[in-house]
Amino acid sequence: MRCRILHESEGRIRVHLMQYRMTLEQADQLQYYLQAVSGVSRVRVNDRTADAVIWYLGGREGVVRALACFQYETCRVEVPSHTGRKLRREYEDKMFFLLVRRCITRFLLPAPAAAFITAVQAVPYIVKGIRSLAGKKLEVPVLDATTITVSLLMRDFTTAGSVMFLLSIGDLLEEWTRKKSVDDLAQRMYLQVDKVWMKKGRSEVLIPVNEVKAGDVIVVRTGNVIPLDGIVKRGEPCINQASLTGESLPVHKKPGSPAYAGTVVDEGECEILVQKELGSGRYDRIIHMIEDSEKLKSASESRAGHLADKLVPFSLSGTVLAWLLTGNVNKALAVLMVDYSCALKLAMPVSVLSAIRECSEHHIDVKGGKFLEAVAGARTIVFDKTGTLTKSSPRVADVITFGDRPPREMLRLAACLEEHFPHSIANAVVKEAKRRHLRHQEMHSKVEYVVAHGIASAVDGERVLIGSRHFIFEDEKVCIPEGEREKFDSIPDEYSHLYLAIGGRLAAVICIEDPVRPEAVAVIRGLHRLGFDKVIMMTGDSSKTAAAVAGRLGLDGFQAEVLPEDKAAFIRSEHEKGRKVIMIGDGINDTPALSEADAGIAVEAGAAIAREVADITIAADDLGELLVLREVSAALMKRIRSNYRFIMAFNSALIALGLFGVLPPAATALLHNLSTIAISLRSMSNVLDSSGRKAETDAYLPADSDVPVLTG
C-alpha cells in the first residue's frame, strides 16, 4: 500500500494512505493489522482523512515494512464484528447536523420561517408533557413543556429554540455515552471460545470453534460455555442463561430444548446439535439484554432520577410564587427557565457509564454501575487462593505413584480426565502432559464432574477418580495400598495435591507448585490502604498450605478446606453484620460466593461460568487492577457528590439572579443549559490520570459518605 509520512517523532509516526476514500471496514482492517505488528503499542486510524497514527517501541523499520506490505485484499487479520467505529461515526454525524440545523434556523432563515420551524419542533416536547400530566405525574417533561410553551406564547422564539437545542444536545450526549458504554460492554461479553469438543462416532475431537458447521454435534460439560446456538440432542443439563435472559436460576433442559450461544452448563453435560454457525446474532442479543437490564443502573442514578422528578413541583411552585410576589412575568419565567432536574438526570448516568468505560481501559469489565458503588462501599474482600492469589498457571512439580503404577501413565490418565473441565490446576496437568509429549486419547467412559470435589469416570471397567483429599478419602472411601503409608505421609506439604484413584485404591498424587503472584503482597497492602479492614482468603487446600500463604501475604484471616457453600455462608454472615463484601475467584466452586457477594469479581482466565456469574471481570495477569477498580469507584462517588453540589448551588444562584431581575429569562435558560452540558462533558472525562493514580480523589471515600440528598 502506498502511503506518505506526514509527521514523525521518537516512537510515533503519522502516515497518509494514498487512496481516494477509506471505508469504516477498511479503517478497522488497517488498525487491527497494525496492532498485530511486533513493536507497535498503539494505533489510531482516521477513516475520514485516511490517516494512521502509530506508536511503536524501538526502530520504525518494522512499521514501515508492514505498511509497505499491506493490501486490503490479501491482508489476513481477524477484525471483531463490532469495533465501535460505526457507532462513533453515527453520533458524530448526528451532532454535526444538529449544530448545522441550529445555525441555519438561528442565523440564515427569515424570522417567520424560523418561528414556524421552532413551533413545529416544540410539538414533541409539549406532547411529552401532556402525556406526563395525563398519567398524573409532575415530572421533568412537564417542566420542559411548560418552559417551551410559555416562551412560544410570549413570542420569544429565540429562547424556545435555544432551550430545545440545548435539550437535544444533552439527550444526544447521554444517548451517545450510554450506547458506547453498552457497546463496549457487549464487545467484552461477546463470546470468546477458541475450541470445542465435537462428536465423531463414539469419540470426541477437540477442534477450533470456527470449523463447526450447522448439523454437527458438540459436547459441552459442567462449567463450560455453549459456543453455538443449537438443540439439546442428548443429556439433561442445567444451563445458566443469566447472560442472555437475566434469569437468576439455571434452566433444566431436555432433549429437544433450545441451547443458546454464550450460556453456561451449570450442572451435567449434553450433546448439542448445532443449528447456527459462529457469529449469528449473539452480539445483538447481548445488546438487547444490557439495554433492558436494571444492572446498568447504579443506586445513585436511580436516586438522582427520582429526585429530579420530585423537584419538578417545587420548580413550578417557585415560578407561580415569583409571579404572585412580583407580578413580573419575566422574573417568573427566569425561575421557570432554571431547574435542577436536567443536570441531575443527565450528569449522574453519564458519570457512571463513563467510569465503566474507564474501567475497560484498564482491562476491567464492569456489568453495571451498581457494582462500582458496591466496590466503593465495601470493607470486606474475600479471595479464593488457587488461580487468584496464586499464579493462574501453576505447574506440576512431581507425580508420586502408588502400587507400582508408571508415573507417565498416571499423568496421561489425569490429563485425559482434567482436560474436559478447565481450571488452573486442571490446565497445569494438561500442560505437563503436553510438555512430556504424552498423547492422551479418550480412554474413559462418561465423565462426571462433582463440584468442588473432583471428577469420576471409568476406564477398562474400573472406577477412576481424581480430585481433592476430601473427595477421594472421605466421600469415596479410597484406601492407600498396603505398605505405602509411609510414602504417602512423606508427601511435601508445600504443594497443592491432586489425588488419583483407580478401583478404590490410591494410584497417584500429583504435586502442584502454586506460587504466589509476585504482586500479591503489594496489592494486599494497597487494599488495606484503600479502606479494606478485612482481607480474607478461603480455599479448599489444607490448613498448612493456607496458613503459609496467608502469613506470606499479610492477610487478616483465612479459612481452609472449605466447600462452595462455606464461602457463600461467610459472605452472608458479613451481610448480617451490615458489611458490604467483594468476592474474587476463578473457579466453578467460587460461583455461589460470587453470586452472594455485593460485587463478584472473576479472573479472566478462570472458568466460563465464573465469568458469567461475576459482576466484574479483571485480567488474569495483574491483581493490581483491583486497586485501580477501588480508586475509580471511590473517585466516581466523589464526582457524583461534587456534581450534586455544583448543580444545586449554580442553579439556585441563577434562580436568585432571575428573581431579582439581574438576569433575563433567556440568559438564565442559556446559562442553565450550558452548565448542564458543561457538567455532563466533565462527567465524561476520566477520574484517573494516565498513570492510574487518582486525579480527583486524594483519599478513599468512606462507605458511609454517600450523597446525602440522593437518599430520597
Q: Please give the grid coordinates belonging to residue 641.
A: 457528590
525 plus 448 within the same structural domain: no
Helices (runs of H) and strands (runs of E) counted in the chain: 23, 26
The yes-or-no verdict on residue 698 having pLDDT over 50 is no
Residues 474 and 568 both lie in one domain? no
Does position 128 have pLDDT exceeding 60, yes or no?
A: yes
In the prediction, which pLDDT does 644 show?
86
In a domain, 692, yes or no: no
Higher-pLDDT residue of 138, 616: 616
User: Which distant-in-sequence residues (6+ apart) come within 8 Å of 374 by Cβ?
Assistant: 580, 582, 598, 599, 615
CATH code of 210's domain:
2.70.150.10
**Count of structural domains, the chain:** 5
Same domain? 174 vs 222 = no
Residue 329 · residue 658 · CB < 8 Å: no
Give, for 373, the enclosing helix (H) or strand (E): helix 369-377
In the structure grid, which three cell numbers stand for residue 380, read together?
Answer: 470486606
Are 399 and 508 within one domain? yes
Q: Which of 591, 610, 631 is the last residue of a domain?
A: 631
Q: Which amino acid is located at 688 in the chain?
A: L
- Domain, as residue range, for 233: 195-278
- pLDDT of the residue at 710: 27
- 268-307 burial, b if ≥16 CB within 10 A, otherwise e? bbbbbbbeeebeeebbebbbebbeeeebbbbbbbbbbbeb
What does the pLDDT read at residue 706? 38
Question: The dihedral of CA 649, 654, 656, 662: what is its sign?
Answer: positive
Once rounded to an integer, what is the mean pLDDT over residues 248-266? 81
CB 194 within 8 A of CB 221: no
The answer to whether residue 284 is domain-embedded is no
Judge if 209 and 301 occupy the same domain.
no
437 CB-near residues (< 8 Å, 6+ apart): none
Mean per-residue pLDDT over the chain, rounded? 82
pTM: 0.65
What local confidence, expressed as pLDDT, does residue 545 receive?
Answer: 77
The band of 383, judged by pLDDT with boundaries at 50, 70 and 90, is: very high
Shared domain for 506 and 564, answered yes or no, is no
In whole angstroms, what is the distance from residue 274 CA to residue 277 CA? Answer: 7
Residue 712 confidence (pLDDT): 24
